[in-house]
Amino acid sequence: MAKIVYFNVSEITRDYYKENPLPVKAETVFIEKSPADLTADELKNVSDADIISVFVHAVDVGARILAQFPQLKLIALRSTGYNNIDLNYCKEHNIEVVNVPGYGDSTVAEFTFGLLIDVTRKISRSFRAVQEAHVATDRYLGFDLKGRTLGIIGTGAIGRYVAKIAKSFDMNILAYDPYPKPEFASEYGFKYVSLDELFSSADVISLHCPLTKDNYHLLDETAFNKMKKGVVIINTARGELIDTEALFKALSAGKVYGAGLDVLEYESALIHDDLYLSALNANETDSLLRSLINLRMLQLKNVIITPHVAFNSIDAVHRILKTANDNIISFLNGKTVNSVLKKSDKPV
């Protein structure tokens, strides 16, 4: 009988798996902590696991941790990203890794528009003013989305759903993707353009692309200089897509009207990611500088920052948990689905 250890278990996770137990014989253990946070004795108690399942908050699942599980055959991620896993170790030790490839297309897209409406209509600012009893209506003048041009960078599932929502707001939609698919443009009502044309034409720019070595700091000082005065920036993708210092300067100078950011450079959950660090080639001074700028951005009235929660709806979390368990069941039945190792072998 297989032993499965679930790490990073929240109350929602525990309740879901209690109501939806695995339809196979298995010993299951639920632990609130990440593997790296366990004491030596705690690790020893679960070292005979055949399968472990971790959430995105398990920052470091490297060789040091994985070596504590000599019988490990599968890592079932409860996330799409897998940058926290030492894939080379897994390949060398015949450990399969599977993920949840899609769960929050509508969830993240809805949150994107939540940020956008908050920035353009100054909802949070107005609420704080009421709380502080310093209401001055003229300070909260916003603008309509109808008739404005939205520039979507990245037309994967989330980007396409953002386009779908934008159509209901009667927005004009431009899109950029290094791998454009004309059928998407036709179905979702947008037009593919060059990155430069998107920068110069869009009233709102929303990021929905993965981070790669090629698009690190995609929005930098040069990019901001190409944009319209008064552009709105929305980022629910990856913090490192934007040069923090360049954005801060553009916001302070009024080039950027406002920003809604669910992700930032140097988020603590991402600081150990090899892809980020190799792309950044950063040192501690750079990390500290950008972290200080993040703190300064928090003080700007035209910025809304949320703690990487665009994915976090009960519906999306349940989809994550179901897919993770479906992956485990398939593996126990002799079939591997949603393999990360197979994806990582493909050229980028």
Torsion sign over Cα 132, 136, 137, 140: negative
Tell me the CA distances in angstroms from 188 to 171, 194, 209, one per residue in order. Answer: 12, 18, 17
Q: Select which of 78, 208, 238, 290 is catalytic.
A: 238
Picking from 318, 321, 264, the residue whose alpha carbon sits closest to that of residue 294 is 264
- The verdict on whether 267 is a catalytic residue reads yes
Residue type, 202: A
- The verdict on whether 308 is a catalytic residue reads yes
Across the strands, what pairs with 30?
6
Q: Select which of 267, 272, 318, 319 is catalytic.
A: 267
Tell me the CA distances in angstroms from 217 to 97, 164, 290, 345, one per residue in order. Answer: 29, 27, 13, 25
Cα 159 to its chain centre, rounded Å, is 13
Picking from 120, 165, 148, 2, the residue whose alpha carbon sits closest to that of residue 69 is 2
- The verdict on whether 96 is a catalytic residue reads no
Query: Rounded CA gap, 77 and 83, in Å?
Result: 11
Longest dimension (CA), the chain: 67
Query: Rounded CA gap, 106 and 158, in Å?
Result: 7
For residue 164, the number of C-alpha atoms closer than 13 Å in the C-beta half-sphere is 15
Q: Select which of 160, 208, 290, 308 is catalytic.
A: 308
Following DSSP, what letter does each residue of 197-231 receive, concatenated?
Answer: HHHHH-SEEEE-----TTTTTSB-HHHHHHSPTTE
∠ Cα 275 100 335 (to 5°): 110
DSSP, res 148: P
Query: Catalytic site residues?
Result: 238, 267, 308
